[in-house]
Chains A and B, each alone.
Chain A
Amino acid sequence: MQIFPPNNGGERGKGYQTLGSPPEGFEQQPENGSKGVFSISSYTQYFNVDTDIVLNRLMSSLYPIGGDFFSKIDANPDLYGLIWISTTLVFMLAAFGNCATYLMEKHSDSTTSWSFDVSYINLAAGSVYGYAIVVPVAFYFLLQYLGSNASLVRFWCLWGYSLFVFVLASFLLLIPVEFLRWIVIILAGSASACFVALNLRSYIAENLSLMVVAAFFLQFALAIFIKVWFFP
């Protein structure tokens, strides 16, 4: 009997099962799956976390001084945090940004009426996803070029969890008092930037303080951008 289509042990599609071989979800390949770019099982290793692990990492992202994030995620870096924290942040910025703009205008001129600006969603998605994906890639390539070892997945994990502070801060940024908003965003921005910078410094073996400072300022710039564009 011919098994159709012939299974050469090569690329397998999502959920596809051939006779006589175990289904995808049961085997956890320790090395990077040689099953190809389009197969789900070569990415499951980056999502091998439970709820309590994710909560633990979220809490530790709120402590900027710790500096031990990389040792926590070393054995098991996850991309779940990056994807869903950035998606949550996009939603928060779009939703609360609209609310905050309305509240601010109402504060100064009580005759304004609510209007929902859909372009906030596009802008939030573009900026947050762009930042969270591109900046770690840039640092990875720069560090590789400068000779230090770097792991892209761990960088993505770090920057992803660093955005969690902004998710929490966006609740506070609704308050339509300008001075308070600046206080909140400066605190949140510096906490997040310190988190990124200190962890980066403890991870890189060489003394590349320029990288660390650049990371700090980029994160802070993101905070200022969020304040200026979404919570004016």
Chain B
Amino acid sequence: MSHSDTVPLHQSSQSDIDEIESLINASVQSGPATVLPARPPSPPRASIPVVSSSPFIQSNLPPPPPLPSPNQKVPSVPAPAPPPPPSIGASGFGPVPNTLTEPVWDTVKRDLSRIVSNLKLVVFPNPYREDPGKALRDWDLWGPFFFIVFLGLALSWSASVKKSEVFAVAFALLAAGAVILTLNVLLLGGHIIFFQSLSLLGYCLFPLDVGAVICMLKDNVMLKVIVVSVTLAWSSWAAYPFMSSAVNPRRKALALYPVFLMYVSVGFLIIAID
């Protein structure tokens, strides 16, 4: 543990910080509150001019922060219309500093809420499930990553021997499996977006995660079989509309069978690991 929480800063970094805080001040006048700086802002410096009409494709973000965040919604961004007043030297940064200088908890909370909303869309019954375009528009890869690693950890924890090999096998199976399943749909002439499909297949692992945790806690074979069957059916039901609508209806079974195979093999791993 450090005994002082502030480290003495270099001269130039102090003025950078002051400048950023002054921008926050400026945007605070027109938007929601952010953290107010403790010291008065330093005099304005020359800035890099940024063209306000961006060549980038419009996404969920308000116009044009130059930082790459293609799919992030920024709920705490101030009203997009007025550029900061010209008395401040740096006129081009706009609402960007809020994602740079916001507290870490805000970033984490935003990602967590996105994971939860994606989960609700994919795995639980809701009116948007039949429309794959709408279902996972705001896809992300954090959720699938957590679920895959968690499933590997749960299986590795349950195993009595060769724990690291079990984790490796589970992780490789799920990660490579998701990629191969997506490639399978693309090769069959289907139309999906690669990362959206990876994201969906990862989210559909959530029921199997729940099943793995239950099986980890209670080691009865009959219970395991029942729990895994139920969660397997749930996972398959979650993945079905997305996969089946992505390909030609005559090839639906060809696209769905590998998904089913992957979930059955994961289910078998959950039951069999003792």
Contact = CB atoms under 8 A, between A and B. Distances in A.
A116 B273 contact: yes
Contacts of B254: 49-51, 54, 80
B268 to A, nearest CB: 5
Nearest to A51: B253
A207 interface: no
B122 to A, nearest CB: 21
A129 to B, nearest CB: 12
A156 to B, nearest CB: 15
Contact of B186 (A14, A88, A114): A14
Contact of A118 (B166, B189, B250, B251): B166
A117 to B, nearest CB: 8
Contacts, number: 72
A115 B158 CA distance: 12
Interface stretch (B39-47, B72-80, B105-113, B190-198): B190-198
B257 to A, nearest CB: 7
B186 A40 contact: yes
A50 B261 contact: no
B252 A40 contact: no
Interface in A96-151: 98, 114-116, 118-119, 121-122
Contacts of B88: none
A60 interface: no
A182 interface: no
Given A14-B194, A88-B261, A47 B188 contact: yes
A51 B189 contact: no
B268 A25 contact: no
A114 B160 CA distance: 11
A66 interface: no
A84 interface: yes
Nearest to B256: A51
Interface string A192-229: 00000000000000000000000000000000000000
A84 B187 CA distance: 13
A114 B271 CA distance: 11
Interface string B236-257: 0000000000001011111001
Interface residues of B, number: 32
A15 B186 contact: yes
Nearest to A45: B187
A197 B273 CA distance: 40
Interface string B164-204: 01100100000000000001101111110110000000000
B82 to A, nearest CB: 29
B258 A51 contact: no
A50 B191 contact: no
A119 to B, nearest CB: 7
A83 B191 CA distance: 21
Interface string A156-186: 0000000000000000000000000000000
A230 B155 CA distance: 23
A190 interface: no
A44 B190 CA distance: 10
A70 interface: no
Contacts of A98: 272
Contacts of B166: 118
A102 to B, nearest CB: 10
B251 A51 contact: yes
Interface of B: 159-162, 165-166, 169, 183-184, 186-191, 193-194, 248, 250-254, 257-258, 261, 264-265, 268, 272-274
